[in-house]
Amino acid sequence: MEDLYPSRGQEERIINRVDKTVYSNKNFGQQSLDNIQREQYDENGYIVVPNLFSADEIKELLEDIEIMSSNDELRQNEEFITEPNGENLRTIFNQHIFSSAFEKISQDGRILDKVQQLLGGDVYMHHSRINIKPAYVGKSFPWHSDFETWHCEDGLPRCRCLTAWVMLTDNTHFNGPLYLIPGSHKKYVCCKGMTPAENYRYSLKKQEYGVPSVEAIKELSSKDIVAALGKAGTLVIHDGNIMHGSPDNISPDPRTNAFFVYNSVHNKPIKPFSAPTKRADFLSLNDYTPVRVKS
Amino acid sequence: MEDLYPSRGQEERIINRVDKTVYSNKNFGQQSLDNIQREQYDENGYIVVPNLFSADEIKELLEDIEIMSSNDELRQNEEFITEPNGENLRTIFNQHIFSSAFEKISQDGRILDKVQQLLGGDVYMHHSRINIKPAYVGKSFPWHSDFETWHCEDGLPRCRCLTAWVMLTDNTHFNGPLYLIPGSHKKYVCCKGMTPAENYRYSLKKQEYGVPSVEAIKELSSKDIVAALGKAGTLVIHDGNIMHGSPDNISPDPRTNAFFVYNSVHNKPIKPFSAPTKRADFLSLNDYTPVRVKS
């Protein structure tokens, strides 16, 4: 199969996205996006839906994180990633498998109607993750396109995937919020540098491959960078290829978000396009059962 | 002499500030602060004066930084500090000595009238510095009170000092701006941990002593944290004891600011209150000649 999104080569270059951003204009369920929201998503590559989940729902999810975090046996699993140079938990992968509250949210029509609409039908879970950015010590994430990694290292052939994520704490300008470059999802940075074997073992702590140069970030920033801010309970959906990153969190408030990566069932992984071996199964789940609304 | 601001001991604790914030209510020159500005400064511990310097003035200052940065011989001086793990210049100390354009700014009535008013008369330069936070790679500064270091390691007995600083690039939410905790200047965090000898050799790259705990930062944050934002040419004056820090700069835009630390001539350093030896002379200048307006 032709590689429409070549990366990890000798030189960095920027090409155009080949795929659509919005795959369907019809409604899916009662809670998909309206015309204006779809147009915004297509143009900017993301959409923010404030306060979609209630305080009680968020409380239940946070409690499930506490339960998972304090379970030493569970923390032995490779899904549990610590901060570089520390013991603090940075990421929990596949919370929808470990926690029934997160599983329920991942099948909620408030998320899934929008996701199915944007990706044009059935989707499955490529993976999910909770990013915990602790107060004071949470470190930054460099700029990257998720899709670049999913294409190069997992083998997703096309960009027909997205991340829907829920703020579990307030995301402010001060606690290391996600920065997005509006419109950057319509470009694709072919990054410089061959992927080493088992790169994911290091990249989950600190990404070094698939990171564009500052010049590329400048070129993508024809619109000003935005921060995805909101109260706990806010939903954000961003395209798999949008360029994003986040600064460190020196504030006294933690920043915790739950991410769900959905991929179209028509876009199952083949083989890595630019890596010697596929990433571990927990990063690229091979259960392609469509996620359907349960409410 | 009694140590009114003990720190670097066995335990962290928070005490009240002993000294005033504003030392004079009369006008100094034509460009001191009005009543409302002085009240704001007293209450919050800082004041922002937008666009005080023209684009031409800023251009001249930036050109002088270029000249200093590209002078390999000059860069051998201990006033020139590189980023941890890198070659990038992080700080230039005492630019008012190395550059006539910066010297001129340090004697400008737009700054000095306000400074003399706030500190109640003649002031001298304790030191000056340019903090360069390069695009993409500029690292964070942890929370700290400058005065805590100047008291413990330089021997300033009282808090009758401040920093006046000029934005040489735009300071946005995205390029690692200075965060301030309004009102924190009225408290003093006695920090935990004995100062090692020659601490400044390490602390200029990464401060580890005189850094409050996250619990102390929370306790000081009765008001929300603010970011000092503005266009190039904006002046900020902040009290020597205000708690501040800044996140890393992952944006594609550099953030460069020129700081001038003024101390009252009635508050000359004695001997370090909590360190085995005084810091190097370039960090605590011993030229106590009053800085006077030249315009």
What pLDDT is attached to residue B114? 98
Supply the pLDDT for residue A86: 65
Distance from CA of B118 to the nearest CA of A (A): 29
Question: Using one digit for the tens of pLDDT, what is the confidence trace for B133-162?
Answer: 989 888 899 999 999 999 999 999 999 999
Task: Please state, for a pLDDT cut of 70, what percent of chain A lies above it.
Answer: 98
Residue with tokens 């401040």: B162
Q: Does domain B13-47+63-161+177-252 have CATH number 2.60.40.1930?
A: no
> B105 to each of B94, B180, B230, B265, B287, how far by Cα in Å?
13, 24, 18, 20, 18
pLDDT (0 to 100) of residue B295: 60
**Residue A85: Cβ-neighbour burial (10 angstroms; 0-12, 13-18, 19+):** exposed
Give the Cα separation of A217 and A208 in Å (integer): 15
| pLDDT of A13 higher than 90 | yes
pLDDT at residue A230, as a whole number: 98
Query: What number is the average pLDDT over the span B165-170?
Result: 98
Residue A35 burial (CB < 10 Å; 0-12/13-18/19+)? exposed
Please give the structure tokens belonging to residue A276. 């010697």
Q: Where are the domains of chain A?
A: 13-47+63-161+177-252
pLDDT of residue B201: 76
- Residue contact A225–B176, C-beta within 8 A: no
pLDDT on residue A213: 94
Rounded to whole angstroms, the Cα distance separating B227 from A40 reads 29
Q: Which residues of A touch B (CB under 8 A)?
A: 135-136, 140, 142-143, 173-174, 176, 179, 214, 217-218, 221, 225, 227, 245-252
With a cut of 70, say whether residue A69 has pLDDT above it.
Answer: yes
Contact A217 B252 (CB under 8 A): yes
CA–CA separation, B285 and B269 (whole Å)? 10
- Position A264 pLDDT exceeds 90: yes
- Least confident piece of the model among A36-50, A72-86, A181-195, B69-83: A72-86
Q: How far apart are CA A195 and CA A174, in angstroms?
A: 33
Residue B229 has pLDDT above 80, yes or no: yes
Mean pLDDT, chain A, integer: 94
Q: Average the pLDDT over A39-60 and give the result.
A: 98
- B-chain residues near A135 (CB < 8 A): 214
pLDDT exceeds 90 at position B108: yes
pTM of the model as a whole: 0.91
Return the structure tokens found at B282.
């370039």
Residue-averaged pLDDT of chain B: 94
Q: Show the CA angle centred on residue B56, arms to residues B292 and B139, nearest 5°.
A: 85
| Interchain pair A252, B176: CB under 8 A | no
Does B39 score more than 80 pLDDT? yes
Eight-class DSSP state of A249: B
Residues B41 and B23: their CA atoms lie apart, in Å, by 12
| Mean pLDDT score, A17-34 | 96
Q: How many CB atoms lie within 10 A of CB A142?
A: 17
Distance separating alpha carbons of residues B263 and B265, to the nearest angstrom? 6
For residue range A198-238, list pLDDT tens digits in order. Answer: 877 777 767 778 899 999 999 999 889 999 999 999 999 99
Q: Number of helices (H) and strands (E), helices first, in chain A? A: 8, 13
Using 50, 70 and 90 to split pLDDT, how confident is the model at B86? low
Judge whether residue B88 has pLDDT over 80.
Answer: no
Please, where are the H alpha helices in chain A? Answer: 35-44, 55-69, 95-98, 100-106, 109-119, 146-149, 200-203, 214-220
Task: Answer whether B176's CB lies under 8 Å from B133's CB.
Answer: yes
B211 min Cα distance to partner chain A (Å): 11
User: For B258-293, what is each residue's pLDDT tens digit?
Assistant: 999 999 999 999 999 999 999 999 999 999 999 999
State the smallest CA–CA distance between residue B136 and chain A in angstroms. Answer: 6
Rg of chain A in Å (alpha carbons): 18
Indicate if the pLDDT at residue A287 is higher than 70: yes
Q: What is residue B158's predicted lDDT score, i.e. its pLDDT?
A: 98
Confidence of residue B202 (pLDDT cuts 50, 70, 90): confident
pLDDT in tens, A141-176: 999 999 999 999 999 999 999 999 999 999 999 999
